[in-house]
Amino acid sequence: MKLIINQMVKFCIGLSIAFLMCSCAAFFYAPNPLNMPLPHDKKEAKFKAYTGLNESGVQASYSIINHLLIHADGSFYDHIGPYGSSSRTAIDGGFGFYQPIEKNGCFEILGGYGNGSAIGGYTSSQLILIGPPENEISNLKGSYQKLFVQPDMGFSRHNFDLGLGFRYAIIYPHNLQYTENYVNANTQKLYYGFYGSYNKNRIYVIEPCLNLGFGEGPFKVFMSGGWSTFQAGSPGNGLLNKLFLNYFISIGVTFHLNRNWED
């Protein structure tokens, strides 16, 4: 078991470093791993801390009474590099209903509200020079509110956790602005530019996620991965294709309180 955990940690850290080194764009929205409490009894609590390709964050949940829980998430991303910078924050929380299944299984439906913001800008140079050298300069700024519902199913044993969830969210952008200019790298003369804003239409997002955890008793190392797809009213899809990150891979640690495993 320790060998499996060590190999998983090394793999995820290496993958995260590789992707972060290749990061050269600012995103308005990046999905976070789904918070899947999957409790089995009242007064059960779960805490998570993670880092990944999209951000770092914490998650928490607590079963208030039988079949009713509360949950909360917070995440941030802050990158400064030679070609620009990008910063994002997000927070959400809400309530959930859960139904234990046999010894260690659980089905739950979570719902809640969240908000987030993003700001960033990058400058990239043309890799293959055809004609005068050209720089692309992009900037974005905006915030959003989010409503979501999330059905999950899984189980938790003393040495292994498994969870599968689907988050359906409606995102309401606020003052989302994006500029993209192409200039002569020598003279800084503007060739052409693009400006986009997105303030009115809702954005519908579906995000499936798989969580795996390995460890002993209350402490586990977990890995979470999934995909995000969106649909927006017209106009908007062309702009949002540039500003939405559509995958997430994270690794972290989980700590259970007041959990009695029956395996």
Do the domain assignments include residue 162?
A: yes
Domain membership of residue 127 as a residue range: 2-257
Do the domain assignments include residue 166?
A: yes
Is residue 221 within 8 Å of residue 215, measured between CB atoms? yes
CATH number, position 63? 2.40.128
Do the domain assignments include residue 35?
A: yes
Do the domain assignments include residue 230?
A: yes
The pTM of this model reads 0.82
When divided into structural domains, the chain yields a total of 1
State pLDDT tens for residues 124-161: 765 545 556 667 778 888 999 999 999 999 998 889 99
Closest to 139 (Cα-Cα) out of 186, 84, 90, 185 = 84
Do the domain assignments include residue 93?
A: yes
State pLDDT tens for residues 79-101: 888 778 899 999 999 999 999 99
Q: Cα–Cα distance between 50 and 33 in angstroms, integer? A: 9
Q: Cα–Cα distance between 141 and 80 in angstroms, integer? A: 16
1 is written with which tokens?
């078991």
Q: Where does the pLDDT of residue 111 fall: very low under 50, low under 70, confident under 90, or very high at 90 and above?
A: very high
